[in-house]
Amino acid sequence: MDGIIPLYKERGLSSHDCVNHLRKLLHMKKIGHSGTLDPTVDGVLPICVGSATKVVDYLMTHRKVYRGSVTLGYATETEDLEGAEVARKAIEEPFTDDQIDAVLQSMVGELKQIPPMFSAVKVNGRKLYQYALAGEEVERPVRVVQINEFRRLGASRYDAANQTQTVDFEVSCSKGTYVRTLAVEVGEQLGVPAVMSSLTRHESGGFTLEEAFSLDQVREMFANDDFSFLYPLDRALPDYPQVELTDEVWEVVQHGVWLLQDEVGLDAPIIALRYQNQTKCLYKLVDHKYKPLKMFSTK
């Protein structure tokens, strides 16, 4: 069994939980996910099965799209609703939607982020949340991420009783982006503490939420010998020109033989070689020759 499952991860489950459930259900060990989702976040989580685990890195290069909300007026230690409150500032006069839009727009482009202490980023061999739980501070690495779009969804909502304001948003971003941290940064630019109050991932690895299957759906389909929840690994490789191989050429490609550029008839830097309607490998152009870059299957 090989392919990609666009899984709908429910809230309350970790990404690792989902992998473990599928290993037991499908009776397979070779399974991995492409991009962690926090337990408090739901949404699409592409899971690679069998030889498709070799395209995890390619899935990670696709954009990610989230929809969620940021609540202005207080902050927590985890930057989401799971953590204890650490700051509060009453919003006596709600921000206008124009003010909020200006802040969101200012964050589009290349952005430097410091991962939150309650995250799985490793520093000196330990995960940041392990330092946080032990009450230890550690210098965190600065990472550069790309924000493609950051926009408000609908009118913001002011809670006069709690003197907070909530903004629904959609963000399209690169891998490695901490949306919790984006929410906090929105508050910082407005001069108030902030927290990410909800989040759902709508797109990842080229798969949308509408294409995703829940664990219960996968379980039922598998029991009925219906494997349509599995997508071919080609879904991870849409940007590479495809070359269909003859029996003779596939025979030598299986052994890693280089191909002359003239034989292929292309000048793309990377090409996908296919045999019998399956992508078998990627080849890279070097000095007018295509050389093996990544082999997915030799069968």
Alpha helices by DSSP H, 120-246: 128-133, 179-190, 215-223
77 class by beta-carbon count within 10 Å (0-12 exposed, 13-18 middle, 19+ buried): middle
Q: How far apart are CA 232 and CA 222, in angstroms?
A: 17
Do the beta carbons of residue 185 and residue 70 sit within 8 Å? no
Q: Which of 38, 42, 80, 234 is catalytic?
A: 38
Give the E-state strand segments of 126-256 in sequence order: 126-127, 143-152, 157-159, 164-173, 194-204, 207-208, 242-244
Cα-trace Rg, the chain? 23
Question: Minimal CA–CA distance to 279: which of 1, 61, 3?
Answer: 3
Q: How far apart are CA 62 and CA 56, in angstroms?
A: 11
38 is a catalytic site residue: yes
Catalytic machinery residues? 38
